[in-house]
Amino acid sequence: MFFQIYAIVIKELKLLLKDREALTLLFAMPAFFILVMSFALETVFEAGSKQHPLEVLVINEDRGPLAREAIDDLKRIETLSLIEKQDGAVLTRAKVERLIQNEKYSLALHFRDYFSEQMQQFSSASSFPAASVSLISDPVINKQVLASVTGAIQGVLDRRRFMIRLPRVLQDHFSAEIDSHVPKSLAAFQKNAFDPDRLMSRLNQDLKAGNRFVLHVASPRSMKKTRRPTSTEQNVPGYTIFGVFFIVLTLASGFMQEKKDGTFQRILTAPVSKSSILVGKLLPFYFVNLVQIAIMFFIGVIVFGMELGYIPALILISMALAAVANGMGLFVAAVCRTEAQVNGLSVLLAITLSALGGMMVPAYLMPGFMKTLSLFTPHAWALRGYQDVIIRGLGIRAVLPETGILLLFAVLFFGMALWRFRFDS
C-alpha cells in the first residue's frame, strides 16, 4: 500500500512540474494579492495621521491678514497637508474644482475675500455674524474621513475667533465688575473680577451667545450631488466591476474545452473568417456581462433604494466595461496552454486588478504610487465612470474620457489576443 501511495504522489508531482506556468501562477497569485493589498491598505488605517496626512488644497482670496494666520495655524496640524500652489501658480476656485473632478485631489479649503472683514466683526459685535469658509470635497469621500478634516479645521477657526473676541469679553467683564463694586470695597472687586471660575463662566456665556463659526461643506459646482454617498452607492459599482471580470475564467475555459474536444477545429473548417468566428463566440459572453451589470444595479435599486443617476451614461460605461472583460478573456485564452494556466491567470487578474483598481480600497486612501498604478487598470476607469454618474450626478459628456480609455483597453486586449491566438491547436 505504501508503494502504491508513493507511486501516485510521484505521478502527481511530475504532472505539476510538467505544467510549470500553472505551478508558478499558484504561487504568484497569493504573493501578488498580498503585495497589492498590503500597499493599498498601507494608509487606510493611518489616513489623517502624522505619517500619512490628508492633502487639502487652499484658495486664499482674503483681502486681510486673518486667513493667512488661520492657514498658518492649520499647517501646524500634523494630520493635514495644506497645498497653496500647483505648478508654481496660486490656486483658484476653477482650478481646484478641475483637480477634484479629475481625482487628483479630494479636498480644498476656500477663504473668501471678505473673511478678515467678517472675522473682525467678532471683536465688537454682541451677536456674532456667521463668517464662513467653504470646504470643497469630492462626494466620494466617506463621512469618517470628512468628519476628521472638518473637525480639525473647525477647531482652528473657532480658536481664531476666540482670540479675536477675547479682548472685548475681558473689557466687558472688568467694566461690569467695576460698575457693580464702585460703592463696595476694593477687596470685593478683586475677589470677583479676578476669580478664574467667574471669568471663564463669563467667557463661555459670551461665546455661546453668538453663532459658532460656520464651515460650509460643498461639492464642486459642476457636480450635482452634494450629499455623502451611501455604502450601497460605493459598493454596488465596485463589486459589479469585480464580478464582470470573472467572465474571463468562463470565456477562456470555454475556448480551452472546445480545443480539447476538437469542436473548435471543426468550426474552423466552415467557410467563415477567423475574425467572424471569434466575434460570434464572444458576443454571447458580452451579453451575459451586460445582463450581470443590469442585475447588480437592479438589486441596488430595489433592495437598497440606490439612485442610479443618468441611465444613458451608465449604459455607455457598462458597454465599454463588458468589451474590456471579453477582450481580457480572449487574451487569457490566447496565452494559456492548459486549463490549470487558465484558472490561475484568470483568478490572478480578476483579484489583483480589482484590488489595484480601487474595488477593495478607495483610491483616495491609497499611497501616491498606488494611485498611479491604478490608472493602468480598466477597473479604476470603470469605477470612476460609475462614480461620475451615481455619486457625482454627471452625464454622458463627463464619462466620455473613461469610456474612451476603457475602449482602448479593449482594443489592446483584443489586439494582443489575436496576435497570440493559436487557431491550429
Backbone φ and ψ of 394, nearest 5°:
-95, 175
The answer to whether residue 355 scores a pLDDT higher than 70 is yes
Higher model confidence: residue 79 or residue 46? 79
| Range picked from 16-25, 127-136, 298-307, 395-404 for highest mean pLDDT | 395-404
Question: Do residues 334 and 326 lie in contact, with contact meaning Cβ atoms separated by under 8 Å?
Answer: no
Question: Do residues 56 and 80 lie in contact, with contact meaning Cβ atoms separated by under 8 Å?
Answer: yes
The answer to whether residue 19 scores a pLDDT higher than 60 is no
Averaged confidence pLDDT in the chain: 75
Q: How many whole angstroms separate alpha carbon 264 and alpha carbon 425?
A: 9
Question: Do residues 382 and 317 lie in contact, with contact meaning Cβ atoms separated by under 8 Å?
Answer: yes
pLDDT for the residue numbered 216: 77
Q: Which helix (H) or strand (E) holds 41?
A: none
Cell numbers placing 89: 501658480
pLDDT in tens, 116-141: 877 776 555 555 455 578 888 888 77
How many Cα atoms occupy the beta-carbon half-sphere of 318 within 13 Å? 24
Domain boundaries, the chain: 21-42+229-420, 54-218
Other beta carbons less than 10 A from residue 76's beta carbon: 8
CATH number of 54-218: 3.40.1710
Radius of gyration, alpha carbons of the chain: 31
Q: What mean pLDDT comes out for the span 71-79?
A: 84
Cell numbers placing 243: 464580478
pLDDT in tens, 28-40: 555 555 555 555 5
pLDDT for the residue numbered 321: 94
The answer to whether residue 402 scores a pLDDT higher than 70 is yes
pLDDT band at 312 (very low <50, low <70, confident <90, very high): very high
pLDDT for the residue numbered 165: 67
Cell numbers placing 325: 472583460
Q: How many whole angstroms separate alpha carbon 91 and alpha carbon 354?
A: 34
Cell numbers placing 393: 450626478
pLDDT for the residue numbered 186: 47
